[in-house]
Amino acid sequence: DRLIEELFYSTSRHLCQKKYYEYDNSGIMIHCKYCWIGGEIIYEIWCEYDKDNRKIREDCKNYDLKNNSVTHYYYNKNGRMYLLKDKSDLAGEMSLHRQYDHQGNIIAERHFSKGYEYDSKTVYIYNEAGQKIRTEFYDNKSILTGYLVHEYDSKSRCIFLKKFSEVLKELTESTYNKYGHVISSIYTNYYCDCRGVRVVPYQMDVLEYEYY
C-alpha cells in the first residue's frame, strides 16, 4: 500500500489542507504537493534517486514563503545516508552529519548552519529490541534543550510520542489499521500547572491517512 493523500483538519474538525503524493512505475515517491482546501498550492517537492533507489536530490518550492531549496544526499559504503547538504533562498547553506552504531541505527546527528558553524546535535537512544525510545536535542553548547519519548504497543508500533521542552509538552497519538499502517495522528500541546495537573491550552492538528 502506498500513501497517496493526507487530510489535515482544524480543531473544529473542518478540512483545511491536503497533501498529495505521486509515484513512478517502481513505486518510488517522486512528487509531493501540499495545498489549501481551495486548491492553492503551499509547497511542492520533487525527488531524484540513484540506480539503487536512494534519494540523492530533493527540490522544494515554497509558494507561501517564496523560497526555493535544494537538498543533496550522500551515502557511505553500507548504503546509509551519512551527509545531507541543503541550500535555500532564505536560510542559506546547512548540513547534517549522521553517525551509526554497529546495528545500523542512527545514534547521533550534528547540524551545521552556513555550511560550517556548529549549530545543534540530536542523539538517539534504543532499547534491546532496537526500538527508538528516546531522542535528545542539544544546542551548540551541548546543553539539553528538549527530548522525545517513544512508546510502543505489543506489535512494536509507536502509539505515543511525547515531546518535552522547558515550556510546552506535545503528545502525538497514532492509530493503525489491520495492515499496520498509520490511519490517524492526533497532536496535543499541554503543560502542567503548579499542582502537576495537565492543562491543554489547545489541540493541534488531526491527520488522517488514505492508502490504495
SS3 153: coil
Burial of 60 (0-12, 13-18, 19+ CB in 10 A): middle
Query: How distant, in Å, are the alpha carbons of 38, 98, 171 from that of 13?
Result: 16, 39, 18
Rg (alpha carbons) of the chain, rounded to whole number: 19
> Does a structural domain hold residue 134?
yes
- Lowest-confidence segment of 28-37, 39-48, 96-105, 195-204 by average pLDDT: 195-204
Q: Cell 492538528 identifies what position?
A: 205
72 pLDDT more than 80: yes
Q: How many domains does the chain have?
A: 1
Number of other CB atoms surrounding residue 124 within 10 Å:
19
Alpha-carbon span 72 to 85, nearest angstrom? 5
Average pLDDT over residues 60-89: 96
200 pLDDT more than 90: no
> Does a structural domain hold residue 136?
yes
Give the range of the structural domain holding residue 73, as residue numbers without chain letter: 48-211
For residue 207, what pLDDT band results from cuts at 50, 70 and 90?
Answer: confident
pLDDT tens across 78-123, in order? 999 999 999 999 989 999 999 999 999 999 999 998 766 888 999 9
Alpha-carbon span 108 to 127, nearest angstrom? 15
> Does a structural domain hold residue 145?
yes
pLDDT tens across 112-163, in order? 987 668 889 999 999 998 999 999 999 989 999 889 899 999 888 888 888 8
pLDDT tens across 24-38, in order? 999 999 999 999 998
> Does a structural domain hold residue 41?
no
> Does a structural domain hold residue 177?
yes
> Does a structural domain hold residue 107?
yes
How high is the pLDDT of residue 75? 98
Q: Cell 491536503 identifies what position?
A: 18
> Does a structural domain hold residue 139?
yes
Alpha-carbon span 206 to 175, nearest angstrom? 11
> Does a structural domain hold residue 27?
no
In the chain, the percentage of residues whose pLDDT exceeds 70 is 89
How high is the pLDDT of residue 203? 59
pTM > 0.85: no
How high is the pLDDT of residue 172? 85
How high is the pLDDT of residue 196? 60
List the grid coordinates of 59: 527540490
